[in-house]
Amino acid sequence: MLRNTSTGYGWISILLHWLVALVIIGLFALGLWMTDLTYYDPWYREAPAIHKSVGILLFLAILLRLAWRWCNPRPVPLSNHKPWERRLAHWTHVLLYALPLLVMVSGYLISTAEGRPVEVFDWFSVPATFSGYEQQEDIAGEIHEILAFILIGLASVHALAALKHHFIDRDRTLRRMLRSRNDMS
pLDDT tier at 185 (50, 70, 90 boundaries)? Answer: very low
**Contact (CB, 8 A) for 20 and 100:** yes
Report pLDDT for 181. 59
Instruction: Find the mean pLDDT for residues 6-23.
Output: 95
Bigger pLDDT: 6 vs 14: 14
pLDDT tens digits, one per residue of 61-96: 999 999 999 999 989 889 999 999 999 999 999 999
